[in-house]
Structure 1
């Protein structure tokens, strides 16, 4: 019996993409892709999501790649320009789940504590959650089992009564190893079909 829904945020409910910013800073598409693949990488950004300060993360890269200083510093000084629209189809599913009154709904997100306030200000639906567990505040992140366990313990959730939704398959595998039923998010339409199949929606 599922009584708890746990959402990831980025690329599930919120369209966040560094390309939105860096398209304004690079004239060459391939140069932009190379910069994001090799300098301001996902792995580097995840260290800030896990609690490293934006200043420390930025200074580390500037010391390594001084010739790219301006573009490195832009990553966080202009971070809000990476935020896009809510992913309306998924937000509507969230609204229906919440309105049903059948579920507690939580967010488990890899997100910097320093940038998360900008998201809270922009997206009203973040206030619908019964609780948000954010990696930057907790100094741990997905796919660490301890991060999932923190949410379960904090909100008295049983793993076998929860359903986890995330776009990153690595995070899905980690949740399933803990006995949490999971849906790998690819689109709102596929999510709706999966939820109906589980008789959750």
Structure 2
């Protein structure tokens, strides 16, 4: 960890601020859990979805997959059409910390791997909390994703801060390690109950 204390917070979004579960809509589309598991591990996989986070459009990304699995065309398109069903609301412990930081006028920013077209829907889940953020760096806009070093450089350019000024909170250890290698303070988000204490240890609350 860097020596100086942070003076701002950089938040991941999915499963840190709002819950995201791609299984949710597909549990309604597949009667058998085994069929759902197979679909998400062989057809609409996370590595396939990452292309959306990099800025590839949903229709463009779906086309070759539909060509390979024409029998699943409707379910593949549902990833885009029913994406909002993957979102199930804010995480209360995180929301409370965001509010507490805002009361102290601590600068807050977001850094998220997310398709640009879905960012408005995500913000709409908890608009009062996202309103506290001074900026949001969305991978779909930048065409680069965490943990690529470039997206952290974009954060520093956009915020005007040094890495040591920022406490980065993310649920991916790979993203955390990449940030720490650049001098960010970091908290690996694994349990919402531990979040406030971690922020307090960094002197922000």
TM-score normalised by structure 2 residue count: 0.94
Counterpart CA distance in 2 for 1:24 and 1:133 is 32
Alignment of 1:46-195 (within 5 A): 46-101=50-105, 103-124=106-127, 125-195=129-199
1:193 and 1:121 mapped to 2: Cα distance?
28
Q: Residues 16 and 82 of structure 1 are in contact (CA less than 8 Å); yes or no, is this contact kept in structure 2?
A: yes
Contact 2:111 2:137 in 1 (8 A): yes
SS of match in other structure, 2:117: coil
C-alpha distance in 2, partners of 1:118/1:85? 11
Does the Cα contact within 8 Å between 1:54 and 1:114 map onto a contact in 2? no
* Cα RMSD, aligned residues only: 1.1
CA distance in 2: counterparts of 1:190 and 1:121, whole angstroms: 26
| Aligned pair partner of 1:19 in 15, 18, 23 | 23
Q: In the comparison of the two structures, how many residue pairs are matched?
A: 200
Return the offset for 1:167: 0.4
| Cα distance between partner residues in 2 of 1:38 and 1:184 | 29
Q: CA deviation at 1:61?
A: 1.1
Aligned-partner SS, 2:15: coil
- Give the whole-Å Cα distance in 1 for the aligned partners of 2:64 and 2:95: 36
Structure 1, unpaired ranges of 5+ = none
Shift of 1:5: 0.5
Q: What is the Cα deviation at residue 17 of structure 1?
A: 0.7
Moved over 4 A (4+): none
Partners of 2:95 and 2:187 in 1: CA distance: 16
Once residues 24 and 35 of structure 2 are traced to their aligned partners in structure 1, the CA distance between those partners, rounded to angstroms, is 15
**Structure 1 residue 44 displacement after superposition:** 0.9
Counterpart check, 1:31 vs 2:35: yes
Cα offset for 1:24?
0.4
The alpha carbon displacement at 1:104 in A equals: 1.1
The question of whether the paired residues in 2 share the 8 Å contact of 1:183 and 1:194 is answered with: yes
Task: Name the CA distance, whole Å, in 2 between partners of 1:163 and 1:34.
Answer: 38
What 5-or-longer segments of structure 2 have no aligned partner? none
